Amino acid sequence: MVIVIIGILAAASIPAITSSYDRLKMESAYRQLKQDVRYARQLATTRQVNHGILFNPATETYSVYRQAVLNIVKDPSTQKSLTVTYASGKFSGINLVSTTFTNPAQDRLEFNSLGAPLGAGIVTVSYGGVTKTVQVEANTGRII
């Protein structure tokens, strides 16, 4: 009888655990995205050359680059190319919905040596029915 009750309680708690996991996964991906945008901005100001992020919603990826989109910077913690993939790995299932940057292109966010974006815009990501946006303001480069 006790085993049956424990089984019922365990089965009842599974949706709550899954929901919590989904929220944590989305929040983790969102924070990583904001951190990478801030990192690109910091690199531009400290190295005094343009740095940016190339977003590719079709492949669910983004990469931080230096001056040219093919020059991907290294992740300071892993020393590998700083490319985030939502199609596999810890962020599997996160959807890179859209980007709305105005300059240099819709799928690119680039900062000058003063930390100002060349064009403002928004990145939208979603997962499990939750949608979040990262907004970069014109002129100041403020990241919201």
Give 2-27 pLDDT, tens digit per residue: 565 554 544 444 444 456 788 899 99
* Cβ–Cβ under 8 Å, residues 67 and 57: no
What are the strands, taking DSSP E only, across 20-120? 51-56, 61-66, 68-72, 83-85, 95-99, 108-111
Q: Is the pLDDT of residue 1 over 70?
A: no
Q: What is the mean pLDDT of residues 92-102?
A: 94
Q: What is the mean pLDDT of residues 93-99?
A: 96
**Cα–Cα distance measured from residue 142 to residue 53, given in angstroms and rounded to the nearest whole number:** 15
| Chain mean position to CA 135 | 12
Write out the two tokens for 43.
């690199």
The DSSP letter of residue 75 is P
**Cα–Cα distance measured from residue 138 to residue 59, given in angstroms and rounded to the nearest whole number:** 27
**Cα–Cα distance measured from residue 139 to residue 123, given in angstroms and rounded to the nearest whole number:** 17
Q: What is the mean pLDDT of residues 130-144?
A: 94
Q: Which domains does the chain have, with CATH numbers?
A: 2-136 (3.55.40)
